[in-house]
Structure 1
């Protein structure tokens, strides 16, 4: 199936302000792109991309005095398959984990394993397989946290989310990741697009979404504690230890967010009568 997705985000600044953005589709999905997801700035500014240590595309530029609007719109092909459930069986020992996976067992800025270790083992230590432990963790987090955009707070950690019992999708992901790491299951934070595809439409503003992957039996598997059900149509943008590594934008100076919109919709075709990609369908609104 084909999905058209994109965003338009505006910032206001008083003086030229450098910015780092992780707003591109993750390189692991490049072969699925059917129309390029180039990020454009209005006004036009010089942008430069590089890969960070997690394989995310980072875009560097400087916002001119006054502000900027960032936008993109692209079409991507998706398998239409639901998130794969991890295999059952005994949990893999730490000694057998690949070296580059070990970092996803460690405490990080928003995932304080030391503060939730006892909770994790008291509640989930009796499960013998990693899959059963993850399923139990996701069920617990889904029930424990009440969702609401009014609960969004950039400083809330996994322990805070557990204590407060409220949050947004990133808080569900942080708490689930932390509990998995406490149980010696490597877990990484993911952010990207997740529209209401294959499920009833939700009457809430469209936003980017957060979920997490766990490493079980030699592979990564996707879980979502907020929705607590396999979904289709995820489009990964960035992954890392937690939201610190996947911040959508980082401004190196005062910058006020003045506009934010995201779209994700299934489409039937991106071709016009001349078999060319339709600019009307793909270009941002300001072009």
Structure 2
């Protein structure tokens, strides 16, 4: 399969009144489809880094932000298939009685996803839709059409109920609302986030940022669904997953440093074709 090369990275500049413990979750995750290379960190002033894997299988990086101004940067390259996200329209829903043990947790309510609050709406909207991939895609399309993407419309504590009530949100809220509707129907769904470059799509005029989407368990595996865009994309590189955004925060600080600046890089590296060498 042909591949594309994606440059990934992020930059955080904080100012702290005193040394502040922090956990960063920005490392690109490799997979059967994605090969990550040339990963590197830069921290100014220089402080020790400690990498570990959390309960949900995410790579996390611990450090202590020093008092004053500090800069944390992460960069890597990802080789991805020249193909859109995988799909299988015949993938079935699995009854709760036979779901894998480690998948059951993704049918339950969590901090930002409350199927118990929105369950009656989910059944009203989707009870008569054919089960399996068709029903999950119907939920994805409904969320995409129901919410209006509005930068700055929500806050870090906003829930799926807030998004449902207001009708506005950012990609995080689109993901939370879709997760909630799936779980209300006993379909396991989890929150995923990472890097999503504009590959073979019209460039997005807003500044690049991290992106959140949904993974749904159908058949015997997780599948990516993106209610913000409602289409299958090229170049998606995951960072982490969890029950909702609380389990997959890009930065967690144990204090209140001021985030002065954050930038995200996710763009294709245009490679010059190798010139042919004439044979004699």
Work out whether the TM-score is over 0.5.
Answer: yes
* Aligned residue number for residue 14 of structure 1: 17
Q: What stretches of structure 2 of length at least 5 have no aligned partner?
A: 273-280
Instruction: After superposing the two structures, state which structure 1 stretch, 5-14 or 19-28, moved more.
Output: 19-28
Kindly indicate whether the alpha-carbon contact (under 8 Å) linking 2:29 and 2:36 is maintained by their aligned counterparts in 1: no
In the alignment, does 2:168 pair up with 1:166? yes
Kindly indicate whether the alpha-carbon contact (under 8 Å) linking 1:88 and 1:129 is maintained by their aligned counterparts in 2: no
Query: What TM-score do the two structures reach when normalised by structure 2?
Result: 0.92
Residue by residue, what CA displacement relative to the aligned partner does 1:80-101 show, whole Å, maximum 9, x if unpaired?
2111224326532111110000
Alpha-carbon distance in structure 1 between the residues aligned to 2:270 and 2:92: 43
Deviation at 1:254, TM superposition (A): 1.2
Deviation at 1:268, TM superposition (A): 3.4
Alpha-carbon distance in structure 2 between the residues aligned to 1:248 and 1:213: 18
* Aligned residue number for residue 143 of structure 1: 145
Residue by residue, what CA displacement relative to the aligned partner does 1:114-149 show, whole Å, maximum 9, x if unpaired?
001100011101123221111111111111111121
Compare the two structures and name the one with the higher strand fraction: 2
Q: Specify the SS of the correspondent of 2:246.
A: coil
Kindly indicate whether the alpha-carbon contact (under 8 Å) linking 1:5 and 1:73 is maintained by their aligned counterparts in 2: yes
* Aligned residue number for residue 82 of structure 2: 80
Residue by residue, what CA displacement relative to the aligned partner does 1:202-250 show, whole Å, maximum 9, x if unpaired?
1111100000100001111100000011111011001000000001111
* Aligned residue number for residue 247 of structure 2: 245
Alignment of 1:88-107 (within 5 A): 88=90, 90-107=92-109
Q: CA distance change for structure 1 residues 40 and 81 in 2, over 3 Å: closer, same or farther?
A: same
Q: What stretches of structure 1 of length at least 5 have no aligned partner?
A: 271-287
Alpha-carbon distance in structure 2 between the residues aligned to 1:216 and 1:65: 47
Alignment RMSD (CA, Å): 1.8
Alpha-carbon distance in structure 2 between the residues aligned to 1:168 and 1:213: 17
* Aligned residue number for residue 218 of structure 1: 220
* Aligned residue number for residue 233 of structure 1: 235
Residue by residue, what CA displacement relative to the aligned partner does 1:265-285 show, whole Å, maximum 9, x if unpaired?
111349xxxxxxxxxxxxxxx
Alpha-carbon distance in structure 2 between the residues aligned to 1:246 and 1:28: 18
Deviation at 1:8, TM superposition (A): 0.9
Please identify runs of 4+ aligned residues in structure 1 that moved more than 3 A. Answer: 27-31
Q: Specify the SS of the correspondent of 2:68.
A: coil
* Aligned residue number for residue 207 of structure 1: 209
